[in-house]
Amino acid sequence: MQKRKLGSLEVSTIGYGCMGLSMGYGTVPDKKESLQLIRQAYDWGCTFFDTAERYAAGDNEALVGEALQDIRDKVVIATKFMLDQYTPGDTPRNLLRLIREKLENSLRRLRTDHVGLYYQHRVNKDIPVEDIAWCMGELIKEGKIRGWGQSQATEAEIRRAHAITPLTAVQNEYSMMERQFESAVIPACEELHIGFVPFSPLANGFLSGKVTTDTTFTGFDARRVITRFEKDNMTANQPLLALLQLFATQKAATPAQISLAWMLHKKDFIVPIPGSRKPERVRENFGAAGIVLTAEEYGAIESALSQIRIHGNRTDEDLAKLRTL
């Protein structure tokens, strides 16, 4: 697989989002299968693996760490921290102490002495982004992280933070079904030479075309509360799947591959991190890196997308409801 740059970090054109191996989409694979799948991802060319302290209370980090420990110097690991227990108005040095403790715990689980990319999982609205950026600069100086990023950040938050400690990447939701960040965030990333890492680039699997209105979701499965998976919305969104299938047929590809090839065509600093728990799906996703859209094909897709209304979305507020079901 070819490489791309997130700031100064070189990573595979498509990364692997590892969350689903531990939580989020119903029954998870057993540990042996998950370890094998992460290593297969590497064998298929992936050098960029994404996890977070919040995924299964750290178990996902431990899984990634175990799978990659003997090839650690050949991959870039990204993880995330969430500040949900702090004193409003706290000093930057106290924030640094809290974040460093979280990072040390992540490093222990990941079996490493540094991570390539350390994201603030969500931007706290009552903590100045400048304070967080200063903390990240200190951790970079210490060699514990190579770069840092924000998740679900706005253009203003990105610019303010970047002025203190340059951001390596921004990880926001982005797909054919969620394009709100095209107007300001992605152009800001381009201007400031910041990588853009789309999570849920296949809209939680909807764009794969594998999910139908007859599919049922049980247990701790995010699709139970994501409104794009409500039956009426799935029916209303069929024109999008028809468009993907049309181009998939023309390119001897799959709908998922066309979805990923579309965003790869947009900018060379975009590195999506699809996640799947089946080897054939993971390999299919990576195969999108080899599908090149012509300018005419890309233009035709963009034109068709502009005529399609998307029904339903994915919000943090809806995901919080999953804990009460």
- Ordered per-residue pLDDT tens for the chain, 325 residues: 999 999 999 999 999 999 999 999 988 999 999 999 999 999 999 999 999 999 999 999 999 999 999 999 999 999 999 998 888 788 999 999 999 999 999 999 999 999 999 999 999 999 999 999 999 999 999 999 999 999 999 999 999 999 999 999 999 999 999 999 999 999 999 999 999 999 999 999 999 999 988 898 988 899 999 999 999 999 999 999 999 999 999 999 999 999 999 999 999 999 999 999 999 999 999 999 999 999 999 999 999 999 999 999 999 999 988 877 7
- CA–CA gap between residue 44 and residue 34 (Å, rounded): 15
In the CATH hierarchy, which fold is given to the domain comprising 3-206+263-291? Answer: TIM Barrel (3.20.20)
Q: Where are the domains of the chain?
A: 3-206+263-291
Distances, alpha carbon 303 to alpha carbons 202, 263, 307, in Å: 19, 15, 7
Coil, helix or strand at residue 75: coil
* Cβ neighbours for 30, distance < 8 A, ≥ 6 positions apart: none
* Beta bridge partner(s), residue 184: none
pLDDT at 323: 78
Q: What are phi and psi of 193, to 5 degrees?
A: 60, 45
Burial letters 100-111, b for 16+ CB under 10 A, else e: bebbeebbebbb
Coil, helix or strand at residue 40: helix
Q: Where are the alpha helices (DSSP H) in 44-184?
A: 59-68, 92-110, 129-141, 155-162
pLDDT at 281: 96
Number of neighbours of residue 275 by Cβ within 10 angstroms: 23
The set of catalytic residues is 55
pTM of the model: 0.96
Whose structure tokens read 């004193």?
87
The 3 state secondary structure assigned to 270-315 is ECCCCCCCCHHHHHHHHHHHHCCCCHHHHHHHHHHHCCCCCCCCCC
- CA–CA gap between residue 5 and residue 167 (Å, rounded): 13
- CA–CA gap between residue 105 and residue 19 (Å, rounded): 18
